[in-house]
Chain A
Amino acid sequence: MKRILLALVGTVAGLAALLSFKTHSGLTGGAALPAASLPSSAPSSTSGGASAPSSSAPPKPGQSSAAKTIAGQAIQTRYGVVQVQIVVSGQKIQNASFLQLTADDPRSAEINSQAGPILLQQTLSAQSSQIDGVSGATYTSDGYLQSLQSALDQAGIK
Chain B
Amino acid sequence: MEVRDLRQPFRLSVASAFWGILLGAAAIFFAFPLERFDPPPVALVLLIQEQGRALLTLLWPLASAAVLGAGVGVTELASYKELWREAIGARWGMYLILLNTAVAALAYVAVRVYMPDTDPFLLAISVGVGFPALIRTKFTLVKQFGGEGGSDIAVNLGWLYDQFQNFCRQEIDKEIFTFRQVVANRLIEQYQTIQELYQLALYTLKTRTNLTLEEEDARLKDLQELIDPQVPPEVARINLGLFVLELGGVGYVNLLVQAKTRKETSAVATAAAPIPSAASADSPTETVVKKLVELPLADLEKLALDLLKSPNDQGWVKQAAEPAPGISEVRQKAPIAYYVVSRAGVEAALEALKNLS
A binds B: no
A binding-site residues for B, Cβ under 8 Å: none
**B residues at A contact (CB < 8 Å):** none
